[in-house]
């Protein structure tokens, strides 16, 4: 009986250890002023700029920012929203290849300037599912490019129901800030931007 109780305790202990949350990624702080832009020309930059404003942070919204724009002002951080809009890209006269190239150039320049890069997805699973249903992969391509190269990921939980951002965060050791409601991101932004 004692042996079986010990065995049960050992198994239970192993299960608790095995299911423990992964270690926290190192804390990353960012500083304003912030340049907010898009990878995919969706409404994400407008949405996150409202939250950044509510957090009282200095920022500029420039959905079509190019690498050269990062030198125009002493920006310290770059927020790139992930999520595509074929309508938005059409209105801008570009396609997904142009958009991915522009975003890649921005990230490369931000690295040279030692800026903090934050990848944000605040439009939820609906945005991702719309493209998937029609066979359009542009939304996922924006995630493929931006998320793994970010210093911090800002994600509305509704857009991470498949765990995609959690997986990227874990594999690349990128801090993931996941919020239940978009408005909750205001408090998180206040913590991140010292």
Rounded Cα–Cα distance for residues 24 and 138 (Å) = 31
Counts of helices then strands in the chain (DSSP H, E): 8, 6
At residue 2, what are phi and psi to the nearest 5 degrees? -60, -40
Residue 83: both structure tokens together: 């999520």
Q: What is the pLDDT of residue 92?
A: 83
Q: 71-120: per-residue pLDDT in tens?
A: 989 999 999 999 887 787 888 888 899 999 999 999 999 999 999 999 99
Alpha carbons within 13 A on the beta-carbon side of 111: 9
Q: What is the pLDDT of residue 130?
A: 61
- Confidence band of 127 (pLDDT split at 50, 70, 90): low
- Confidence band of 132 (pLDDT split at 50, 70, 90): low
Residue 64: both structure tokens together: 């079509």
Question: What b/e string do you get for 141-175 counting C-beta neighbours within 10 Å, with b at 16 or more?
Answer: bbbebbbebbbbbbbbebbbeeebbeebbeeeebb
Rounded Cα–Cα distance for residues 119 and 121 (Å) = 7
Rounded Cα–Cα distance for residues 126 and 44 (Å) = 13
Helix, strand or coil, per DSSP, at residue 183 = helix
Q: What is the pLDDT of residue 13?
A: 35
CATH class of 30-192: alpha beta
**Torsion on CA atoms 17, 177, 122, 158, rounded to nearest 10:** 20
Rounded Cα–Cα distance for residues 36 and 153 (Å) = 14
The β-bridge relationship of strands 116-121 and 77-82 is parallel
Give bridge partners of residue 166 from the DSSP assignment.
none
The structure's pTM equals 0.82
Rounded Cα–Cα distance for residues 179 and 166 (Å) = 12
């Amino acid at each position: 009986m004692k042996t079986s109780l010990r065995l049960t305790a050992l198994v239970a202990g192993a299960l608790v250890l095995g299911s423990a949350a992964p270690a926290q990624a190192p804390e990353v702080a960012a500083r304003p002023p912030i340049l907010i832009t898009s990878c995919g020309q969706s409404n994400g930059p407008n949405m996150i700029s409202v939250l950044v404003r509510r957090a009282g942070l200095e920022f500029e919204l420039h959905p079509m920012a190019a690498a050269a724009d990062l030198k125009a002002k002493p920006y310290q951080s770059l927020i790139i929203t992930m999520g595509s809009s074929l309508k938005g890209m059409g209105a801008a006269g570009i396609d997904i290849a142009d958009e991915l190239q522009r975003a890649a150039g921005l990230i490369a320049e931000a690295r040279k300037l030692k800026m903090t890069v934050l990848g944000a997805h605040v439009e939820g699973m609906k945005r991702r599912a719309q493209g998937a249903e029609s066979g359009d992969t542009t939304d996922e391509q924006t995630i493929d490019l931006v998320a793994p190269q970010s210093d911090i990921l800002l994600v509305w939980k509704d857009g991470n129901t498949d765990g995609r951002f959690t997986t990227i965060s874990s594999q690349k050791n990128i801090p993931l800030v996941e919020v239940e409601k978009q408005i909750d991101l205001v408090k998180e932004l206040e913590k991140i931007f010292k």
